[in-house]
């Protein structure tokens, strides 16, 4: 089989290797589609806490090709297999949960395995999906809804991250949420919040992203001029009008920009919830007064608690918006071109799809 190995900074080597053998309790998945996110770019740029060489790719979908001998597993945790046999058949269309966790540390024992102390991720810390065949535990397989195209299903992991962030914020119908950043995570969070009956305001520095936010259900949008104070006087008035002067009850910070978290703390309502899902190593100047005075819940959100099946269902309910997210397609052989596109930031980029040999041509 052919694999793309990131062997050094911005260097990919395509190499042939024997097909993997299927282990007990595992399935061989023929990879059809892989989507890229910012983490993939950072790994390719060798600006991520993982070691190269590495087969990247953690957002993917494919077809079950072989099922290995079944072994008992904890159906209460995974919901995907039982001691009497796997819940999947050869030929099934699947997305894959890439998270690897130990099951023994305190977070795992309390059901928070997405922040396992020994957490891993296929394609980030161990070899992933930029290969024609991959062996994964059966409990990592997520069935793709019949009406969801397999290429869109590769974004199931992306949708799960957005849903995890929303769930962390505990939104209630009728509340108002401010989503800072209308990239793929922010847009999918907006879509999910809208389904939950929440009034969503989106803010971003790019008008075309805000136009998309309206398609994803945003009731109002705020264009942030780079290098200026946000919100300006007009935007402050609009926020006050939309929230009866109290501020949004929930803020989803999906940019990773330090000043955006600072804005979230200033703008959120008293007794409100802020969810930080954007990731950055930079430091924010966080007020030590506003958090206790407002008695805020400041919450982090990482990956998801096996929400990929729910993410796939969300995408299936909104096929038009899901298709809009996917702005670029590349053949597997053009993987480096895809990274160069993301690195250049010269085009309007949503999700970038890599079509593997089994998935057709771009």
Percentage of the chain beyond pLDDT 90 is 90
Q: Is pLDDT of 133 > 90?
A: yes
Give the per-residue pLDDT at 69. Answer: 84
Which of 72, 83, 75, 69 is closest to 27 using CA atoms?
A: 69
The mean pLDDT of 136-159, rounded to a whole number, is 96
User: Higher-confidence residue: 73 or 248?
Assistant: 248
Q: Is pLDDT of 74 > 70?
A: no
Q: How many residues does the chain have?
A: 362
Provide the whole-model pTM.
0.93
Question: pLDDT class for 359, splitting at 50, 70, 90?
Answer: confident
Round the average pLDDT of the chain to a whole number and report it: 93
Give how far Cα 253 sits from Cα of 98, 112, 345, Å: 24, 21, 21
pLDDT tens-place string over residues 293-321: 999 999 999 999 999 999 999 999 999 99
In sequence order, the 6+-apart residues with CB closer than 8 A to the CB of 294 are 268, 269, 270, 271, 272
Strand partners, 354: 34, 330
The Cα–Cα gap between 297 and 42 comes to: 30
Sign of the alpha-carbon dihedral angle for 238, 242, 244, 247: negative
Helix (H, G, I), strand (E, B) or coil at 133: strand
Question: pLDDT class for 70, splitting at 50, 70, 90?
Answer: low
Q: Is pLDDT of 35 > 60?
A: yes
Give the per-residue pLDDT at 87. Answer: 76
pLDDT tens-place string over residues 87-115: 789 999 999 999 999 999 999 999 999 99
Q: Is pLDDT of 75 > 50?
A: no
pLDDT tens-place string over residues 245-267: 999 999 999 999 999 999 999 99
Question: What are the start-end ranges of the H helices in 171-307?
Answer: 184-195, 207-215, 233-242, 258-267, 290-294
- Sole residue written with tokens 């995408």: 315
pLDDT tens-place string over residues 273-294: 999 999 999 999 998 999 999 9
Minimum mean pLDDT range among 69-83, 146-160, 335-349: 69-83
Strand partners, 223: 204
Minimum mean pLDDT range among 5-14, 146-155, 206-215, 221-230: 221-230
Question: Phi/psi zone of residue 229: left (φ > 0), alpha (ψ -120 to 50 degrees), beta?
Answer: beta
Minimum mean pLDDT range among 79-83, 231-235, 255-259: 79-83
Q: Is pLDDT of 164 > 90?
A: yes
The Cα–Cα gap between 38 and 16 comes to: 27
Question: pLDDT class for 227, splitting at 50, 70, 90?
Answer: confident
Question: pLDDT class for 361, splitting at 50, 70, 90?
Answer: low
Percentage of the chain beyond pLDDT 70 is 94
Q: Is pLDDT of 28 > 70?
A: yes
CB–CB of 311/160 below 8 Å? yes
């Amino acid at each position: 089989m052919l694999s793309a190995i990131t062997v050094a900074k911005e260097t990919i080597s395509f190499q042939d290797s024997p097909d993997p053998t299927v282990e007990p309790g595992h399935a061989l998945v023929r990879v059809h589609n892989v989507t890229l996110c910012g983490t993939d770019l950072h790994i390719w740029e060798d600006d991520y806490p993982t070691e190269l060489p590495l087969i990247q790719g953690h957002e993917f979908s494919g077809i079950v090709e072989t099922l290995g001998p079944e072994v008992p597993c904890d159906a209460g945790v995974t919901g995907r297999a039982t001691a009497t046999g796997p819940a999947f058949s050869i030929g099934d269309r699947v997305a894959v949960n890439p998270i690897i966790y130990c099951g023994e540390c305190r977070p795992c024992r309390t059901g928070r395995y997405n922040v396992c102390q020994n957490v891993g991720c296929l394609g980030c810390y161990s070899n992933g999906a930029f290969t024609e065949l991959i062996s994964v535990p059966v409990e990592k397989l997520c069935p793709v809804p019949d009406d969801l195209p397999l290429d869109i299903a590769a974004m199931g992991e992306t949708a799960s991250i957005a849903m995890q962030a929303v769930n962390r914020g505990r939104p209630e119908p009728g509340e108002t949420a401010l989503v800072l950043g209308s990239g793929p995570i922010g847009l999918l969070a907006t879509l999910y919040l809208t389904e939950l009956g929440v009034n969503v305001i989106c803010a971003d520095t790019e008008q075309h992203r805000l136009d998309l936010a309206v398609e994803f259900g945003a009731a109002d949008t705020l264009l942030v001029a780079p290098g200026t104070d946000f919100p300006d006087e007009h935007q402050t008035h609009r926020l006050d009008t939309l929230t009866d002067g109290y501020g949004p009850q929930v803020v989803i910070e999906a940019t990773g920009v330090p000043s955006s978290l600072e804005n979230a703390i200033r703008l959120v309502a008293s007794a409100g919830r802020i969810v930080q899902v954007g990731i950055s190593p930079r430091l924010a100047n966080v007020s030590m007064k506003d958090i206790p005075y407002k008695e805020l819940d400041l919450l982090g959100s990482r990956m998801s608690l096996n929400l990929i099946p729910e993410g796939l269902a969300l995408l299936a309910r909104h096929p038009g918006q899901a298709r809009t997210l996917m702005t670029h397609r590349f053949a597997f052989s053009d993987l480096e071109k895809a990274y160069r596109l993301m690195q250049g930031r010269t085009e309007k980029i949503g999700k970038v799809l890599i079509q593997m040999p089994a998935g057709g041509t771009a």
